[in-house]
Amino acid sequence: MGQDQSAQTAGDISNKVDGTLIGDPSLEIKGLSSIESDKANTLTFFGHPRYEKHIYGKQERVVLIPRTYVPLDVKHITFIKVNNVYQALSRLSQFFDAQANAIYHISEYAVISDEAQVSSSVSIGHFTAIEADASIAEGVVIMDQVKVSEGVSIGAGSIIHSGVKLLNGVSIGKRCIIYPNAVIGADGFGHIPMEDGSYTKLHHHGSVVIEDDVEIGSNACIDRGALGDTIIRTGVKLDNLVHIAHGAEIGANVAIAAQSGISGSSKIGAGSQLGGQVGVIGHISIAPNSKIQAQSGIAGDIKEENQKWYGYPGIKYFNYLRSFAIFKRLPELLERIRRLEEK
């Protein structure tokens, strides 16, 4: 923590990813850049043939390249050959993340209950409130205007961005990242219809359990369970504006893209991937390693593992493509039928 980013050299970077360096090992690296920007003293990467023309700019910088790529010009560009460019970039990005490398500091404007358990090695931003019985482990970084309610626990090394609301009893695991304005632990959409057409509220007594290495996007909402808990398993990645309803369970290493919604008490199997704007109805199960295309709607159990699904209601991916090939020709086929009928 508090690491001087300007001290990183091409040699340092190469060692961190077990790379093979071609060029100047002493070249200082002060940050990351896109390959098109031609920004001096930065680290970038070459991951697709269409960007090859951008490699050979005028500035001194470091470029991550696949081991199979042979550089055309090594005069002022330093190259690091790696087995997998994207994995290497992911590993290196943490060294240039100012938030992940913040110096521990508790703002004088933070409000922290005397009954909260706060490690000495944490950062807490301006106007953040931490209530009684909250537990904040070492290495946690909490930004400005965060609400950490009574009984919340946050595991070591987690980062909570500005405006996040962690409501009563929520449990956050280790090394989680929660982006701005996410709300975790609000009551679910539990309203019971009455005979007169009105609704009575079902008060929620469960909570939300988030395991280790989870990332939750900006403005995402994860509701507490009505009686049991809503559970987000290890390694889950949720995009911005994702909604997880009360009592749902998201399996390990599931990835869900923006504006998707998982209804109450549904279970998403480990390793599944859901595209943007996918809808899942309540009380169903989706088999592990399912891949659901964007804007699909899942209205029943998926029992087969390792399958792709598309459409509303969702059907197998290639069946959907074959069906759509027919559907888009329906006006033409209808006209042909009319002409045949006229004869």
The domain boundary, picked from 43, 70, 96, lies at: 96
Q: How many structural domains is the chain composed of? A: 2
The answer to whether residue 250 sits within a structural domain is yes
My answer on whether 161 and 271 are in the same domain is: yes
How confident is the model over 41-94, as pLDDT tens digits?
Answer: 999 999 888 999 899 888 899 999 999 999 887 778 999 999 999 999 988 887
The CA–CA distances, whole Å, from 73 to 78, 85, 86, 167 equal 10, 19, 22, 56
Share of the chain above pLDDT 90, in %: 75
Token representation of residue 160 = 């909570």
My answer on whether 164 and 251 are in the same domain is: yes
My answer on whether 89 and 116 are in the same domain is: no
The answer to whether residue 340 sits within a structural domain is no
Is the confidence at residue 2, as pLDDT, over 70? no
The answer to whether residue 236 sits within a structural domain is yes
Region 18-43: mean pLDDT is 92
**CATH no. for residue 203?**
2.160.10.10
List b or e across 137-150, with b for residues whose CB sees 16 or more CB atoms inside 10 angstroms. bebbbbbbbbbbbe
My answer on whether 313 and 289 are in the same domain is: yes
My answer on whether 68 and 122 are in the same domain is: no
Band of residue 173 on the pLDDT scale cut at 50, 70, 90: very high
The CA–CA distances, whole Å, from 99 to 172, 202, 212, 263, 293 equal 18, 39, 19, 33, 33
Domain that holds residue 289: 111-320
pLDDT of residue 233: 98
Band of residue 4 on the pLDDT scale cut at 50, 70, 90: very low
My answer on whether 209 and 81 are in the same domain is: no
Which are the catalytic amino acids? 246
The domain boundary, picked from 55, 72, 96, lies at: 96
**CATH no. for residue 62?**
3.40.1390.10
Report d(CA 342, CA 63) in Å as an integer.
68
